[in-house]
Amino acid sequence: MRQRTVKHTYVFEGKGLHTGVISRLSIHPAPAGSGIVFKRSDLEDAPAIPALAEYVSTTTRSTTLSGGSFEINTIEHVLSALTGLGVDNALIEVSNVEVPILDGSARPYVEAILADGLEEQAAEREYITVPEPVEARDEKSGSWVRIEPADSLSYDVTVDFGSRVLGVQTAHWDESVDYAREIGVCRTFVFFHEIEFLLAHNLIKGGDVDNAIVIVEHPVSDGQVASIAKAIDRPSLRVEPTGYLSNIQLNFPNECGRHKLLDLIGDIRLCGGYLRARITAFKPGHTMNTNAAKLLRAALAK
C-alpha cells in the first residue's frame, strides 16, 4: 500500500456547530510523509499544528487541538473522512476557530474527494504497530476504549445511553467496509433535554435539524418544542411517534451508533496514522477516544 493524498484542493464553508461562526475549510494535497496538518489561515503567520493526540486541549462535545496561542475546534469529522477514504497526507486550512459542521456528518468531504479519487504517492504507507494493549476507562460512566495489536485495522463500537428511543446500538468498520456509504453519511445527534443546557453554555450555536438528529427521550410539551424550534430558527417542528424530532429521516436504524463510530475513527487518527490494531469501545466519547490515542502515543514513544 502506497501513501495517498487528495488530487485537488477542496473548499467547504458553513457554520461551526458550537460557535455558530462562519468558517471556510480547505483540504489541500500534501507531500508523502507529512501526515495530516491543520493550519489557521486567518491568523498572523498562519500557524500550523499536526493532527496528533498530544495537542488535544478540550473534548467538550467535540475534539479541539491547541497550538498554545490558538486552537481549532471540532476536527473529528474531517479527520474521520480522510481516514475512511484512505488519505495519508493532507493540509487542512481553517479560516476561523471551528471547523464548519456542514450536514453533521462526513458526507460533504467524502462526496467531493471521491468524485476525483486519490493521488497515489511514491512512498509506502508505514502502518503503526501496537506494541501492547492500551485502554482508556472511566469507572464512573463505565465507558472505555481499548486498542489491541492485530494484523489489520478494525473498529467495533457499542453505544448505550439507557435510552428507550435508541436502545443499545452497535457498529463496525474495517477497511473492507465502504466507509462512504456505511459510516460517512451518519449525522451527529443530541437529546432534546440537552439542548437547553447546551444553548445556555454557548454551545451548538450553529446547530439545527439539518445537521443534527434530535432524540426526544422524555415527554415534552408543545411549548417546549416551539421554544427550541425558535432557538434554532426552525418553525413547525413536532415529535414523531418514533421518538425523534420531525424533519429528519434516518439513514440507518443505528445511525447514532454509526456516528459514534465515525467520531471514534476521527479521534483515533490522532495516533498519527493508520494502525494495525483492533479497536473496541463501549459508550465512547471524545474524552475516552483521545485519551486512548494519547496512551498509545505514549506507549509508542517508549
pLDDT at 62: 93
pLDDT at 196: 67
Average pLDDT over residues 198-212: 63
- pLDDT over 90 percentage in the chain: 77
Question: How many domains is the chain partitioned into structurally?
Answer: 1
Q: Which of 18, 77, 259, 286 is catalytic?
A: 286
pLDDT at 212: 83
The answer, yes or no, to whether residue 205 has pLDDT greater than 60, is no
Active site residue 201: no
* Cβ-contact 61, 77 below 8 angstroms: no
Which structural domain, as residue segments, surrounds residue 61? 2-126
End-to-end CA distance of the chain: give it in Å, rounded.
Answer: 27
Kindly state the cell numbers that stand for 263: 467520531
Taking all residues of the chain, what is their mean pLDDT, rounded to a whole number?
92
pLDDT at 209: 56
Q: Is residue 83 part of a domain?
A: yes
Average pLDDT over residues 133-138: 97
Separation of alpha carbons 115 and 184, rounded Å: 15
Q: How confident is the model at residue 107 (pLDDT cuts 50, 70, 90)?
A: very high
At 219-270, the pLDDT tens digits run: 888 888 887 777 767 778 889 999 998 867 899 999 999 999 999 999 999 9
- The number of residues in the chain equals 302
Separation of alpha carbons 290 and 81, rounded Å: 17
* Cβ-contact 12, 102 below 8 angstroms: yes
pLDDT at 230: 76
Separation of alpha carbons 199 and 299, rounded Å: 39
Q: Is residue 37 part of a domain?
A: yes
The answer, yes or no, to whether residue 206 has pLDDT greater than 60, is no
Average pLDDT over residues 270-285: 97
| Nearest CA-CA partner of 271 in 161, 62, 131 | 131
pLDDT at 207: 54
pLDDT at 16: 87
Q: Is residue 24 part of a domain?
A: yes
pLDDT at 282: 98
The answer, yes or no, to whether residue 18 has pLDDT greater than 80, is no
Indicate the burial class of 74 (C-beta count within 10 angstroms; 0-12, 13-18, 19 or more). Answer: buried
Separation of alpha carbons 267 and 82, rounded Å: 12
What is the pTM (predicted TM-score) of this model?
0.94
pLDDT at 283: 97
Average pLDDT over residues 41-53: 96
Separation of alpha carbons 157 and 131, rounded Å: 22
pLDDT at 249: 85
The answer, yes or no, to whether residue 275 has pLDDT greater than 80, is yes
Return the CATH number at 75.
Answer: 3.30.230.20
Q: Is residue 29 part of a domain?
A: yes
**Residues whose CB is less than 8 angstroms from the CB of residue 78 and which lie 6 or more positions away in sequence, other chains included:** 25, 27, 92, 99, 106, 109, 266
pLDDT at 20: 80
- pLDDT over 70 percentage in the chain: 94
Cα 173 to its chain centre, rounded Å, is: 14
| Nearest CA-CA partner of 185 in 79, 274, 82, 109 | 109
* Cβ-contact 233, 208 below 8 angstroms: yes
Separation of alpha carbons 171 and 160, rounded Å: 12
pLDDT at 19: 80
Beta strand pairing status for 2-6 and 10-15?
unpaired
Q: Is residue 132 part of a domain?
A: no
Average pLDDT over residues 130-151: 96
Average pLDDT over residues 188-213: 71
The answer, yes or no, to whether residue 208 has pLDDT greater than 90, is no
At 78-92, the pLDDT tens digits run: 999 999 999 999 999
* Cβ-contact 183, 258 below 8 angstroms: yes
